[in-house]
Amino acid sequence: MKNLLLIAGLMHFGILIASALVPKVLDWRGELRKLPPLFAQLVWVHGGFIVLTIFGLGAISVLNAAALASGTLLARSLCGFIALFWGTRLAVQFFYFEATPYLTRLYLKLGYHALTIVFVCLTMIYTLSALGRQF
């Protein structure tokens, strides 16, 4: 489980690399100009907090993989929260987002589907750890 949690931690940084492309691919600068300044600022601030959260989850997982795999109540609780975070993100991917109009190039389609696989993996790894499974 320790190695799976270490890999999961590293996956967070892969997500951040993909996330760095979002503002350009979706033309945030141009699209957000159409909104009142406060609304545009909220999008940027919320995006920044999401990046900070993903970075933090990745860093905690990489630096504390053994502790997260230990099965303590704190470790299982944190893994349960991270599983809920990524499981909710996965549900949003399937049931809320309509990304198809923006998947205009092969690399965008591949990236979108690769991220979906990563979200599934993260949800599974952290759920297993939260349930106290050891490998």
pLDDT tens across 13-59, in order? Answer: 999 999 998 888 888 899 999 999 999 999 999 999 999 999 999 99
Task: Specify whether the backbone of 86 is left (phi greater than 0), alpha (psi in -120 to 50) or beta.
Answer: alpha
Angle between helices 2-19 and 37-63 (to 10 degrees): 150
The amino acid at residue 29 is R
Instruction: Give pTM, 2 decimals.
Output: 0.88
Model confidence at 83, pLDDT cuts 50, 70, 90, reads: very high
Task: Specify whether the backbone of 96 is left (phi greater than 0), alpha (psi in -120 to 50) or beta.
Answer: alpha
The answer to whether residue 135 scores a pLDDT higher than 70 is: no
Distances (CA, A) of 94 to 4, 30, 43, 100, 119: 25, 27, 22, 12, 11
Please indicate whether residue 55 or residue 134 has the higher confidence score (pLDDT): 55
Contacts of 120 (CB under 8 A, 6+ apart): 90
Long-range contacts from 99-102, C-beta under 8 angstroms, 24+ separation: 102/25, 102/26
pLDDT above 70 as % of the chain: 99
Mean pLDDT, all residues of the chain: 94
